Amino acid sequence: MESSAVSLRGIRKEFGSVVALDDVTLDIERRQFVTLLGPSGCGKTTLLRIIAGLETPTAGDVYFGAERVTHRPPQARPLGFAFQRYALFPHLTVLENVAFGLKVRRVRAKERRRRAMEMLELVHLPHLANRLPSQISGGQAQRVALARALAPEPSVLLLDEPLTALDLAIRTAMQEELRRLHRDLGTTFVYVTHDQGEALTMSDRIILMRAGEIAQDSTPFELYRHPSSLFAATFVGEANVWVARAVDDAADGETCRVEAASLPRFSGRAVGAVRRGAAVSYVLRPQRITSAADAGVPGACTISATVTDVLPRGARALVLAATSGPEVRLELEAAEAESLGRGAPLTLAWHPADAVVFPEESSDADSSPVVTSEAETTTV
Amino acid sequence: MAAFLVAPAVHLGLTSFWRTAYFQTTHAWNLQQYPEILTQSGVWQTMVRSVWTGLVVAVVTTAAALPIAYYIRFRTGVRKVLVLAVVITAMFSSYLVRIYAWRTLMGRDGALNWFLTTVGISKHGFTFLFYNRFGVIITLVHIFLPFAVLVLLAALEGVYVDVLEASRALGARGDQMVRWVVLPMIGRGLFAAFAFTFILSAGDYVTPQLVGGTSGSMTGTFVMLEMTQLGDYSHGAALSLALLGTLVVLSACVYGAGRLVRTVER
Amino acid sequence: MRVRSILLGAYVSIALAFLLLPVAIIVLFSFNSGANLSFPLRGLAGHWYGTALHDPKMVSALENSLIVGAGMLAVVALVGTPAAWAIARGRFRGRGLLLATIVAPVALPGLFIGIALLTFFASIHVHPSLRTVVVAHAVYTLGFYVVIAAARFSGLDAALEEAAWTLGAGRWAVARLVVWPLVRPALFAALALCLALSLDEFVITFFVIGAQNTLPIVIFSNVRSVVTPEINAVATVLLLTSWLSVGVAALLIQSSARRRRVALAEFVEVGG
């Protein structure tokens, strides 16, 4: 615990009869860029606010390093906070805003100015020093807010969906900007977002949350390649999800055969113990399916399909194909997809190791099983 | 923390109202006063007159205020600001000065009569317009009109222009729009303006004293006399509570009637 | 539609005249050089103001009005500000009830408030004096102040305070550096309105005052007995003081709004 920047032990938060967080325990290492990712209502923002001290947990403790800070107010914690809507003080200039944390710490005026200007240079906005918050754009405001939060040199920076209110173009630029700041300053970043693309791009580590609990805690690559639950598989990245029945018993990691209505039997990698005859979800990413021309690999799963639609996406394209079973989504190179018209026949192939079999959980009833994920579509 | 400072004020407010429940200055509970009041001569008639005056004033004021509030809400530019400024100026003109001003205007030797005699409309001027119930009503309307305008204006702020545009696009005519769209939306505001004006004007005592003459006296004056000149606190308290009670009951009736109308219309 | 619009405009004009006419006449008469209280005017002169200002009764009444006003402002600011804050931000049970109690005096006829306070003071053996008037005015205007202040507090973005906390500011620093500068204009404007109401107040004052007079009371006793022409001057002075307070309030509100508008205009010019 001493080496971590922030530690949480058994955090529980109730709002009346609603349980927002249920027994959350985690350690955040120094200098890490950690993202709390999840759908609305999963508790990620609440957790962030508890770390900040803006909320008090119903049970559990918060530690900054070795110190227990659970009941300390935000001003007594060595942190900075970036708000979704910037929260710049409207009656102060940009420079005064950035210098606010220093003023509160009784830093002398000249020194304050110097350090505030330094921060503004860091975010490339020194020319806005004398403007009022009402006179700058959203992207600029967010950068000023970051400068303000970082000026007192906190050991941890907490960010609450800071890019959600910005246009897409600015958002992408800001993501790189945040990454750069993190690299240059070495501050621990704890970032909250519902945008899985954003999380995958920026983080060292992603903590996926759902209904007040941690669903998975791993690196972006790990999360994408080896989701530990159906929820993780469908929330991050796109996926084809088929309802099927297991043919064999399989332990975690073993190959498992499944059968789905009107489809031949397929194999996949089991995640968690699977019992023969149990209902399972067969999950396959669109990026892992190829058209038959490339499928010379022995042991590949194949299925014949007819193209229903082709949706261009820049360098690649999404192809929707109808099969004897459910509709399949696959991604192909644009050149290849271009030649496909509606009704064109297609043979789809994938390697069983790329498909994942999840045993059905009772909570899977919430996530939509047979429809592919509606989460932000980004290719990784 | 806030409670500390608030409590005394609240306490004062509350106790000052409770205290009027002591019906005798000897602090012994006594309900005798109430039947006494009702049988006392003149009291009943005065109370009826007060209530009636209050109703008339409330109706006239609310009706008169509505177009003004409408004008302010839906016009822009200099005109709107000007009208609003006049309304606010009138509102913050001292209550007493306004009553006195009406006396100057409408009294026997007042400006109006001077105008009428000079122009030749009437030989000695109209005396029937003032120092009676009518004078009281006009003065009270003048006093509460700005207040009603502001209350209705606040209610109208909730009516968005796009709602009106939408209903017009759906084919509603002007008056239909007013009846079916605007009025229900500001119903509560209308009631507030009406109720406030009703209660405040029925309980007034200065206006009838100064411009009411003999036929225009109201309960308020009685109470005032009892309290200040006769020193009969308990009597005055009982009388004023009776008046207040009546006003509240009547307001509740109007509110209920309004709800009834709305459900019937639906 | 056009006809309707013209009718509305005409009606409003008449209504405005109705509202202003009586008051205008008083102001007009205050400049009457003659001693008559009816038309026609003898000439224009300002000497009644001189008479009024030299009349000791008037002067002391004016003084008293201002003393009461100042005292009332202090009470209202001290009691009303925390109350408004508690109502705007608090989450305690009796919140609605508290608000209702504070606002109630606004809706009740001055008669009730007057006699309620009179009997209350009598029962605790406090004699009517300027002090009781201060209390009475405070009770009456508290409703206006708290409503305006609470509205302003509610409109204040809670995230601003949270941001200040995360930057290391304690509660007192937040109040001083963030909250106060932002709510200051509205609070002062509200106080100015309360002052205007206090100066104008007659109904309640009449009950709870002792042997002294405030301006409206002097006018009342004058009107009831023999009306002397200087009363018009006094009345005009009263009107002007109230209007002045309201004007100050309007300016305060306008200036903070204008600052924001100018900033926005500059922003648009620069092109973001």
Domain limits, chain A: 4-225, 230-365
Among chain A residues, the shortest Cα distance to C159 is held by A87
The helix/strand/coil state of A68 is: strand
pLDDT of amino acid A296: 60
* pLDDT (tens digit per residue) in A108-143: 999 999 999 999 999 999 999 999 998 999 889 999
Range in A35-39, A328-332, B21-25, C52-56 with the lowest mean pLDDT = B21-25
| C234 interface with B at CB cutoff 8 Å | no
The confidence band for B126, taking pLDDT boundaries of 50, 70 and 90, is low
Does B237 sit within 8 Å of C111, measured CB to CB?
no
Q: Which amino acid, one-letter code, is at A249?
A: D
Provide, rounded to the nearest whole percent, the portion of chain A with pLDDT above 90: 45
- Chain Cα centroid distance, residue C236: 17
Cα separation, A124 vs A118, whole angstroms: 10
* Contact yes or no for C12 and B206 at CB 8 A: no
The chain A residue lying nearest C266, using CA atoms, is A135
User: Which contiguous run of DSSP H or E holds residue A27?
Assistant: strand A18-29
pLDDT band at residue A264 under the 50/70/90 scheme: confident
Mean pLDDT for C119-142 is 80
- Report the C-alpha gap between A277 and C122 in whole angstroms: 89
Separation CA A120–CA A112 (nearest Å): 12
Contact flag B101-C224 (C-beta cutoff 8 Å): no
From A7-11, A103-107, B57-61, C132-136, the region with the lowest mean pLDDT = C132-136
Give the model confidence (pLDDT) of B127-142 as tens digits.
666 677 777 888 889 9
Whether the pLDDT of residue C272 is over 50: the answer is no
In this complex, is the C-beta atom of A74 within 8 Å of any C-beta atom belonging to chain C?
yes
B223 C-beta neighbours (distance < 10 Å), count:
26
DSSP A271-311: SS-B-TT-EEEEEE-GGG-EEGGG---TT-EEEEEEEEEEE
- Residue C252: which of C194, C191, C207, C171 has the closest Cα? C191
Out of C167, C181, C266, the one facing A148 most closely (by C-beta) is: C167
Asked whether the beta carbons of residue C159 and residue A85 sit closer than 8 angstroms, the reply is yes
- Look up residue A130 and give its two tokens: 């004398």
Flag if C168 and A101 touch (Cβ within 8 Å).
Answer: yes
Which chains share 3+ C-beta pairs under 8 angstroms with A? C
**Chain A residues in contact with C159 (beta carbon < 8 A):** 83, 85, 87
Domain ranges of chain B: 40-265
A88 neighbourhood in chain C, CB within 8 Å: 163
**CB-based contact, C201 to chain B, within 8 Å:** yes
pLDDT band at A359, cuts 50/70/90? confident
Is B24 a residue whose pLDDT tops 50?
A: no
CB-CB contact of A258 with A357 (8 Å)? yes
- Cα C68–Cα C69–Cα C75 angle in degrees, nearest 5: 90
Distance from CA of C82 to the nearest CA of B (A): 5
A53 close contact with C: CB closer than 8 A: yes
The residue written with tokens 């009736």 in the block is B253
Neighbouring-strand partners of residue A26: A8
- Model confidence at C95: pLDDT above 70: yes
A45, A75, A81, A105: which to substitute to probe chain C, counting the most C Cβ within 10 Å?
A: A75
Q: Shortest CB distance from B13 goes to which of C38, C101, C243? A: C101
CATH architecture assignment, domain B40-265:
Orthogonal Bundle (1.10)
What tokens does B69 get? 């509030």
Pick from C167, C176, C261 the residue to mutate for testing the A interface (most A CBs within 10 Å).
C167
Q: Encoding tokens for residue A57?
A: 């947990």
Indicate the CATH number of A230-365 among 2.40.50.140, 3.40.50.280, 3.40.50.1820, 3.40.50.11720: 2.40.50.140
The full length of chain C comes to 272
- List the helix and strand counts (H, then E) for chain A: 9, 20
Report the share of chain B in percent with pLDDT over 90. 1
CB contact under 8 A, B68 and C112: no
Question: What is the CATH code of the structural domain delimited by A4-225?
Answer: 3.40.50.300
The pLDDT confidence band at residue A4, using thresholds 50, 70 and 90, is confident
Residue C267 has pLDDT above 60, yes or no: no
Tell me which of C4, C8, C19, C89 to substitute to probe the interface with B (most B C-beta atoms closer than 10 Å): C19
Q: Is C176 in contact with C83 (CB distance < 8 Å)?
A: no
Residue of A nearest to C184 (CA): A91
Supply the pLDDT for residue B233: 61
pLDDT greater than 50 at residue A339:
yes
Q: What is the pLDDT of residue C216?
A: 84
For residue C105, give every residue at least 6 positions away whose Cβ sits within 8 Å of its Cβ, in sequence order, or none: B13, C113, C139, C140, C142, C143
Residues C163/C168/C170/C173 CA torsion (nearest 10 deg): -80
Mean per-residue pLDDT of chain B: 72
Minimum Cα–Cα distance from C176: chain A residue: A104
**What DSSP element (H or E) covers B33?**
helix B33-39
pLDDT for the residue numbered B26: 45
Cis bond upstream, residue A220 (ω within 30): no
pTM above 0.90, yes or no: no
**Amino acid B179: pLDDT:** 64
Q: Which of residues 297-356 of A touch C (CB under 8 A)?
A: none
Q: Name all domains of chain C by residue range, CATH numbers in brackets.
A: 56-270 (1.10.3720.10)
